[in-house]
Structure formats: structure tokens, C-alpha cells
Amino acid sequence: MLHDPSFAEIAGAHGIQIQPGADVYDLAILGAGPAGQAAAVYGASEGMHTVVIEQMAIGGQAGTSSLIRNYLGFVRGGSGCELEHRAWQQAVRFGAQFVFTHQAVGFTACADHHVVTLDDGSQAVARAVIIATGVTYRRLLARFASRVTLLVRGQSLAAGISDYLVKQLEETPKVDVRLSTRVVDGRGKSHLEALTLHDLRTGRQEEVPATAVFVLIGAEPHTDWLRDVVELDERGFVLTGRDIPQSAWPGPRVPLPFETSVPWVFAAGDVRYGSLKRVAGAVGEGSVTVGSVHRYLEQLDSW
């Protein structure tokens, strides 16, 4: 009997692994979204002792998508949950371990291994690490409102989202899209009553009635705990490869693609600076990064 249990206690009671093993892994992957799961599939399939550490559930942002239509092989589209569940089954079949309900809060780089500390105090020791913790997007749920006005500072929706999503917005009668517009003020007594909008093309301002505002400005990467460990950009995205400042790179060689400022620690998917922010892009990055990890482990074993 569990009284007011935590997520970890509930998971543990159901036989879900909530702590990494005591042995040294070849590869530790932080995050079980498309990038992390792709890395798990390719790492485990090549014989690497692999562990994936995920705070909540598999899938990341892709796992919450009700319909993905622009992924190779999904002719009629499919849910992100279905895609990510298949990836999880595939990774487990190849021997990858998954640890749930805990997130990484600390990181120590050693000569031939890395130590990842989790929020419960447990640690995962691995010879190589891939950071694939993803980002958090604030969402606009039009299905629960009688009418939604989408304000976009840019001149086009196509610059930020896929074409089929643009068409879905255009075909949704409850959603109005106003381009080149930003909010400059708000008014109300006990609650929001009106917004002042500024048209960036004409310079004109107007006040419109509004009872709620949902902010959807960019994405927030899960990297606060990494600020003193690897190089990040001003928004918190992980710098990799050629984007790493020369002064921040410690080694004589050139950093590999997807390698962070800490040698043999990599980043893939949405958390990485310059990533495509697409499911296929994340899967590709996770897969390609394993090639660099494999190269490193071969060198390490020959020393």
C-alpha cells in the first residue's frame, strides 16, 4: 500500500526501472524523444551497453502530436505516440535500458568516463554521453476556445512550421492569423480585458478585446543544469561542432559534428543549437551521433 506516492514510487511499484545500474555503460542518453530513442536503437544495435534516462515518458514533444504526416514512410500520417512507442520497443529489443521518473541535475567529466547525477542522488557512469533532453513549447489549444487570434511577428507562418500545419490553420474557422503584429500593452481591472496591438508594417496601433493571452514565443531548452558544464548560446541551446568558440574547446583536434565543448559528450535534437526542430531531423541527428560515439569507444579501447 502506497500513501501519497511520488511518480517514482508508482513506477517502481509497477516494475519500471527508476535508477541506473551500478556498472559502467558505454553510452548514456539523456532524453527519450526522437533523437534519444534513435541514438538508443543504433547504439544498442551496435553492441553498446546503453542506458536512456527520461524524466517523464518516451516520445518528447513528438510523442504528444496527434498526427505526424511529414515523416518518411507515414503515408497517411500517424500519431507521435505510435511512432515513439515503436522506437522504444525496437531499442529495448536490442538491449537498451530505460530509466524513468528522474532527470539529470549534475555532470562530471573524467578522463575515460562521465558521471551523470540524477535528482534522487543516484548516478549513471558512462564512457560517452548524448544530451537529447529536448525543449518545452508553450501550446495554443484552439479546440477549447470559441475563437483564437494568432499573432505572428514575422511576415509568414511558413518560416516556422511545416506547410501542412499552415494549411490546417487556414482551414480551421475558429483561428484568425494576423501577421507582422505584436502585443505592446494590455488593459484590465481584475482580469485581462483588452490588448493593444502594433502592426509592424504600417506602424498603426489598435486596441482589441481579449480575455486571455497564450504566449507561444520560441522554445525553452532543458539545459539550466548544464550552464557551468558545456557551452550554451544566450537562449540555453547547446553549442556543438563548429559553433563552439575556439577558446572553449580544450583539445588539439577539431570537435566532431554534434560534439559539445566537453570532448565525447554530444548533443542531438531540439536541445542543440541550430537543429532543424523536426522529428526526422532529430532522428537523423541521434543516429549520426552514434557513429562518432562508436569511433571514440574504438579509440578508447585501443589505448
Grid coordinates representing 26 are: 558505454
Q: Give helix 279-302 / helix 34-45 axis angle, nearest 10°.
A: 40
- For residue range 278-289, list pLDDT tens digits in order: 888 999 999 999
Q: Where are the alpha helices (DSSP H) in the chain?
A: 7-13, 34-45, 60-63, 80-93, 163-170, 279-302
Rounded to whole angstroms, the Cα distance separating 12 from 159 reads 44
- For residue range 168-209, list pLDDT tens digits in order: 778 888 888 888 998 899 999 899 999 999 999 999 999 998
For the beta carbon of residue 233, count every other beta carbon within 10 angstroms.
13
Listed residue (137, 134, 109, 113) closest to 223, CA to CA: 134
Radius of gyration, alpha carbons of the chain = 22
- The predicted pLDDT at position 210 comes to 87
| Partners of residue 299 on adjacent β-strands | none
Percent of the chain with pLDDT over 70: 94
Beta carbons of 186 and 192 less than 8 angstroms apart = yes
Which CATH number is associated with domain 142-209?
3.50.50.60
Beta carbons of 265 and 230 less than 8 angstroms apart = yes
Classify 197 as helix, strand or coil.
strand
Place of cell 537498451: 96
Classify 91 as helix, strand or coil.
helix
Q: What is the mean pLDDT of residues 152-173?
A: 77
Rounded to whole angstroms, the Cα distance separating 152 from 183 reads 10
Place of cell 535500458: 97
Percent of the chain with pLDDT over 90: 46
Highest mean pLDDT among 18-22, 148-152, 267-271: 267-271
Rounded to whole angstroms, the Cα distance separating 293 from 239 reads 17
Question: Which overall architecture, per CATH, does domain 7-137+218-302 show?
Answer: 3-Layer(bba) Sandwich (3.50)
Grid coordinates representing 207 are: 486596441
Rounded to whole angstroms, the Cα distance separating 269 from 278 reads 8
Comma-separated ranges of CATH 3.50.50.60 domains in the chain: 7-137+218-302, 142-209
- For residue range 94-141, list pLDDT tens digits in order: 999 999 999 999 989 887 889 999 999 999 999 999 999 988 765 557
